[in-house]
Amino acid sequence: MIFQLSYEELAAYLASCGEAAYRSDQIWGWLYRQSVFSFEEMTTLSLPLRQRLQADHPGSFPGLMDRAISRDGSEKVLWQLADGKQVESVLLQTETREGSWISACLSTQAGCSMGCSFCATGQAGFRRNLTAGEILAQLVGLQAKSGERVGRLLLMGMGEPLMNADAVKKAIYLAQDPRGLALGGRRITLSTIGPRNLGQFLASTPRVEMAFSLHAPNDLLRASLVEQADSLLPIRTALELLYDYRREAGRMVTVEYLMLAEINDSWSHAKELASLLEGSAYFVNLLPFNASLGLPYRSSPAERIRAFAEVLRASGLTVKIRKPRGVDIGGACGQLRGQQSLS
């Protein structure tokens, strides 16, 4: 798969084909600066070279099975990979006082093995890890199909990124290459629920921003929500690792907390979470639950979420109640399934 290759690997491959060195820059430019999504469109290359690329790198460009556009402008795309597995990714338009940008939310696995009871992806089961090339192809494909240039990369789609650590690391390296997409570490955010390899991952991965999917203020409640809770670090241990990472790497760490009515949204839960995060200077995102077919949860009422936020703010934490995006097309957090057409 062509997206699996680093610039150096691409250059070595082309040299083995007897091609001139400048071909590396041409192909890299087509892929990452012009977001061309087929070898046929690389018109500065000779026809024999394009045919060679197609023969040597089949399945490089996932098939677009379907796409849906939300009322809020978000766009969800269903991709089919070379082996028939399907994954989804989402293009988000974000407007803030500081400006506007396009974010790409990518999947790192086909399905997920963590079994979070509040997440459609987890309930659909695990099929396989994606390669680094399959992760990156989603980003380039979104740019190619939409005509938009992505300014931020969110590794928050289907799957737990740390359960596919090696491929995710390579995808981050490739996304950061200044000769291509050139996405700096502050423009890449990785979301994790905190598997046991968190410390190793933080120590060996390019510096990016992190989001910790917490959703419970204690390990007992989290274990009732996450089927594979035994594969996770204790909450306090994960927070300590992330706190050290934030201090040493200078990257933002966000705590994501899903608001589930009558499950984790009481005043006592808020006080417990405030105590857990006290002195950490974390940014806290409160996420209304996005309903998915068959999941037995409701979102906390808006006034309850606001009251929960005030308890956290009173303890000195910075809190934002996040507005869901793409709910009407099944493209919001926890709604991605990647099993069937969107239509």
Verify whether residue 75 is a known catalytic residue.
Answer: no
The single residue of 88, 160, 209, 256 carrying the catalytic annotation is 88
Q: At what angle do helices 267-277 and 235-249 cross, to 10 degrees?
A: 50
Comparing C-alpha atoms, which of 156, 131, 206 is closest to residue 176? Answer: 206
Q: What's the DSSP call for residue 177?
A: -
- Count other Cβ atoms within 10 Å, centred on residue 14: 21
240 is catalytic: no
Number of H helices, E strands in the chain: 11, 12
* Cβ burial, residue 267 (10 Å; 0-12/13-18/19+): exposed
Residue 320 one-letter amino acid: K
| Catalytic residue selected from 105, 112, 116, 333 | 333
Other beta carbons within 10 Å of 89:
26
Q: Which one-letter amino acid corresponds to residue 51?
A: Q
3-state secondary structure of 279: coil
User: Catalytic amino acids?
Assistant: 88, 333
